[in-house]
Copies of this chain bind each other. A is one copy, B any other.
Amino acid sequence: MAEESYTFSLVRVDLARGVSRREEIDSGLLLKFLGGRGLGAKILFDEQIPGTEPFSPDNRLLFLTSPLIGSGAPWCVKYTVSTRSPLTGTILMSLAGGFFGAALRASGFDGLIIEGQAAEPCYLWLHDGQVEFREARHLWGLETQRVQEVILGETGDKRARVACIGPAGEKGVRFSCIVSGTRAAGRGGAGAVMGSKNLKAVAASGRARVPILDPQGFRRINEAIRTRARNAERLRLFGRYGTPKNLVIVNERGLFPTRNFREGVFEGIDKVNAMEQQRRVLRKVTCHACPVSCGNMTRAAEGPYRGIVTEGPEYETFWAFGAQCGNQDIDAIIAADRLCDELGLDTISTGNVIGFAMECAEKGLITSRDLEGLDLSFGNHSAMLEMVRRIARREGIGDFLAEGTLRAAQKIGKEALGLAMQVKGLELPAYDPRGAKAMGIEFATSPRGGCHERGLVSRETFGAPPPIDPLAVEGKGGAAKEVQDETAVLDSLGICVFPPHNDGMDMADAAALLSAVLGQQVSEEDLWLAGERVWNLERLFNLREGFRREHDTLPPRLLKEPMPAGPAAGNVVELNLLLADYYTVRGWDERGVPTLEKLAQLGLSEEGSRVLPCPR
């Protein structure tokens, strides 16, 4: 192994004063938190005073990578955005693939800590170890593709990549996202935080090479992974269709939420699925350093949306503007996907909140007057698309829905609260946990609210081998914890989760890659411990912000209304049983608070002492 020391450095940018400075990350810190999500959690935890409002200039916005991003190792691609969420008030980490992460490292910075608020719209141009503050009044109001084109022109650098917000982020829509290329750091409203700082975009480019301290070892493991991947049948299949291949699977398992989670089987599945999409796919789309290329560039084929092109839609978007809104028109979904990308809206939250509004309208909780005449019935896709626009512009009732499902429901009244399919304010995605019980744990405990991405037990939802009974309660605490910790490692290293979930690589590969890059032995066990550490640190952050066991919950519909039909018929989520098991497996007390022993084991005693009661 090399003697050379590894450096990982961030740039801290103060938008109010227009200054920046480079900061080295101590290697001990890097080994503990890896990068990306983990490092972001540590920085937010250390630097933010509890109660910092998401739209306060004091709320940090972090763009981070890891030592693996840009190394050329397969699937080491995702940059992360960390901040306190304006939608949930929890810690937020969102990530995105594409090419921005690699471009950021090439610019000479491994990450970005953004503080303060600019007086006027601006963007940052990072290149060759320099930070330029550029004014962006002419970009304000522009949609995301146009913004990227204009900035690319202004930099004169064809290799530059731009992460930006659309009109929704500028307007503070609480579920607005950050877009780079056509990939979004989607959930939880990081776009609105960026908008609150008057920051329209970050552009990055350069020729910096990422350090690899053991190049020989790195080449060896890199090649081994790629060779294995070529022979992984599940991965090949995944690459062919991408995430939409799961539409039929999840629907067949009866846990595909339909019309705001009233049902679990969607009657329109024959019209909205991967095969129907494939008829419209123009070409496959890839991220940096990916031998799989799961993305699809898709063109709407029929009706009023004919000719609209989008990258995607992904599984979740097919659901959000499909089953959730009772819509069977696949071309309308393609149009909605494109519209959300352009406006800078998270498709899951947008579709979820519109489905919620549709149920409210059906029940008379929202009136035709509230809707200014719009017929927001389930299945009316032109109304659905119009509502997407109103949300982004905060027009009429769109202004209301732009606050998210929970806040909208609180304003409408008690009955609407029962229809809000969210946890901690984050709109639920396309799995009904009445038919997949570990997903119930995941929704209830995920650090950023009702999310599937921080611990998707594929063995349960998709029947990945070896499959487990989705309806069983027993053992689900352990299954959830394992995938959560694994995902925390992947998110921190910036590794796409799909290949590890499809026989593409495993934790030993990740450890070998990291060892080679850092020039220092990192074991599989070290990584598992780091993943658990990250999860617990996020828990401490949320505890400090007032989140408690009672917030680890699910909408009443999932706890009390049995699934009406399909394979999961008769089921509710037995949340108390599931959580008791899960807390025990986690080494948390019955209130969901990490024990001092657990924190000591994870090297988080100091962090714990900043949140938990002082022993006297």
Give A563-616 interface residues, CB cut-off 8 Å to B: 591, 593, 609-614, 616
A614 close to B543 (CB less than 8 A): no
A315 within 8 Å of B (CB atoms): no
A48 within 8 Å of B (CB atoms): yes
Residues of B within 8 A of A546 (CB): 50-53
A58 to B589, CA, bound (A): 14
With beta carbons under 8 angstroms apart, the residue of B49, B53, B611, B613 that contacts A543 is B49
Given A50-B545, A610-B610; 16 other pairs, CB 8 A cutoff: A23-B616, A48-B613, A49-B544, A49-B593, A49-B611, A49-B613, A50-B50, A50-B51, A50-B543, A51-B544, A51-B547, A51-B548, A56-B548, A58-B591, A609-B610, A610-B611
Q: Which residue of chain B has the shortest Cβ distance to A546 in the bound complex?
A: B51
Residues of B within 8 A of A49 (CB): 543-544, 593, 611-613
A120 within 8 Å of B (CB atoms): no
Residues of B within 8 A of A56 (CB): 548
A469 within 8 Å of B (CB atoms): no
**Smallest beta-carbon distance A589→chain B, Å:** 12
Give A1-29 interface residues, CB cut-off 8 Å to B: 23
A609 to B614, CA, bound (A): 13
Q: List 27 A-B contacts (CB under 8 A).
A: A23-B616, A46-B613, A46-B614, A47-B613, A48-B613, A49-B543, A49-B544, A49-B593, A49-B612, A49-B613, A50-B50, A50-B51, A50-B544, A50-B545, A50-B546, A51-B543, A51-B544, A51-B545, A51-B547, A51-B548, A52-B546, A53-B546, A56-B548, A58-B591, A544-B544, A610-B610, A610-B611
Q: What is the number of residues of chain A that contact chain B, defined by CB distance less than 8 Å?
A: 26
A47 to B548, CA, bound (A): 16
**Smallest beta-carbon distance A466→chain B, Å:** 39
A327 to B51, CA, bound (A): 41
A23 to B615, CA, bound (A): 13
A614 close to B47 (CB less than 8 A): yes
Residues of B within 8 A of A544 (CB): 49-51, 544
Q: Which residue of chain B has the shortest Cβ distance to A47 in the bound complex?
A: B613
1/0 contact string of A40-72 vs chain B (CB within 8 Å): 000000111111110010100000000000000
User: Top 3 closest A-B pairs, CB basis?
Assistant: A51-B546, A46-B614, A47-B613
**Smallest beta-carbon distance A43→chain B, Å:** 9
A56 to B591, CA, bound (A): 12
A58 to B609, CA, bound (A): 18
A55 to B553, CA, bound (A): 19
Q: Which residue of chain B has the shortest Cβ distance to A48 in the bound complex?
A: B613
Residues of B within 8 A of A545 (CB): 50-51
Residues of B within 8 A of A616 (CB): 23, 46-47
A613 to B51, CA, bound (A): 12
Of A47, A48, A53, A546, most buried by chain B (CB within 10 Å of CB) is: A546
1/0 contact string of A135-170 vs chain B (CB within 8 Å): 000000000000000000000000000000000000
Give A146-205 interface residues, CB cut-off 8 Å to B: none
A612 to B612, CA, bound (A): 15
**Smallest beta-carbon distance A594→chain B, Å:** 11
Q: Which residue of chain B has the shortest Cβ distance to A24 in the bound complex?
A: B616
Residues of B within 8 A of A610 (CB): 609-611
Residues of B within 8 A of A548 (CB): 51, 53, 56
A548 to B58, CA, bound (A): 11
Q: Which residue of chain B has the shortest Cβ distance to A612 in the bound complex?
A: B49
A591 to B52, CA, bound (A): 12
Of A46, A49, A53, A545, most buried by chain B (CB within 10 Å of CB) is: A49
Residues of B within 8 A of A591 (CB): 58
**Smallest beta-carbon distance A92→chain B, Å:** 17
With beta carbons under 8 angstroms apart, the residue of B50, B547, B613 that contacts A611 is B50
Residues of B within 8 A of A48 (CB): 613
Residues of B within 8 A of A53 (CB): 546, 548
**Smallest beta-carbon distance A117→chain B, Å:** 14
**Smallest beta-carbon distance A304→chain B, Å:** 40
**Smallest beta-carbon distance A21→chain B, Å:** 12
